[in-house]
Copies of this chain bind each other. A is one copy, B any other.
Amino acid sequence: MSGSRAPKILSVKDQIAEQMRSDIISGDLAPNTKLNEKELAERFGLSRGPIRDVILQLTKEGLLVSKNNVGASVNSVLDPSLQKLMISLRRNIEVFAIEQLKEKLTEKDFAALEKILFDLQSAFEREDFTEVTKIDISFHNYLVHKAGGDDLVNIWYPFVMRMRLNYKRITSGVECVNEHETILNALRAGDTAKAVKGLKANIR
C-alpha cells in the first residue's frame, strides 16, 4: 500500500448529501424551505430515487423534516434549551473519545491531525469558510472515529449537524486553529485533562 492517504471514494449519494448539507448550513437553503424532489433530481442530474435516499438521510441527521405524502423541508433552529442539550451531548461524546484515545494515538495519527490543522489554516487564508467548516468537523471526526468507529460517528454526527444549523460561532482564523492546536498538543503530551478542557472551550 502506498503511503498516501486513501483518496476516499465517495458514492454519488454521499456527494449529493455533502452538497446539500453545505447548502443548508451555509444558509443558501433557508429554514422551512420546501424541497422538490424533481427539481433536485434535475439539478444534480440524476433521477428521484437517489435524491429520495439523500433526503431520508438528511432527515435522520436532523437537517430536514419530512412529512408523509407532503415532502421534506429544511428544519428550523432549535429552541435554546434543546440547543444547550445538544452541545452538552456532543461534548460528552468527544470527551469520551479523548479519554479512550489516551496512549492509543500513534505518530501516524498525530501526523494526520497535524495535516488537518494545516489545511484548516490554509482554508482560512483562502477565506473559504465552507471548507473551513468541513475541515473543522473532520478534525473532530478523526478523533471520534478513532475512538468508536463508524458506530460512534453515526451517533455523533447528528449533533454536529444540528449545532452547525442552529448556531454559527464567530471565530477568527487564528482562534480556531489555536483551539485545535491546543487540543492536539495536549493529546501529544498525554495530558487528557488539558485536552478535555481545550475541547470544551472549542465546542460551544
Contact = CB atoms under 8 A, between A and B. Distances in A.
Interface of A: 11, 49, 52-53, 56-57, 60-62, 65, 68, 75, 78, 81-82, 85-86, 88-89, 92-93, 96, 100, 148, 150-152, 154-155, 158-159, 162
Report whether over half of chain A's contact residues are helix, strand or loop; otherwise say mixed: helix
Given A52-B53, A57-B60, A89-B93, A82 B152 contact: yes
A102 to B, nearest CB: 12
Number of copies: 2
A160 B158 CA distance: 16
A179 to B, nearest CB: 24
A30 to B, nearest CB: 18
A148 B57 contact: no
Contacts of A152: 82, 85
A51 to B, nearest CB: 12
Nearest to A82: B148
Contacts of A86: 155
A65 B162 CA distance: 23
A38 to B, nearest CB: 17
A49 B50 CA distance: 11
Contacts of A100: 81
Contacts of A68: 11
B82 A151 contact: yes
A158 B153 CA distance: 12
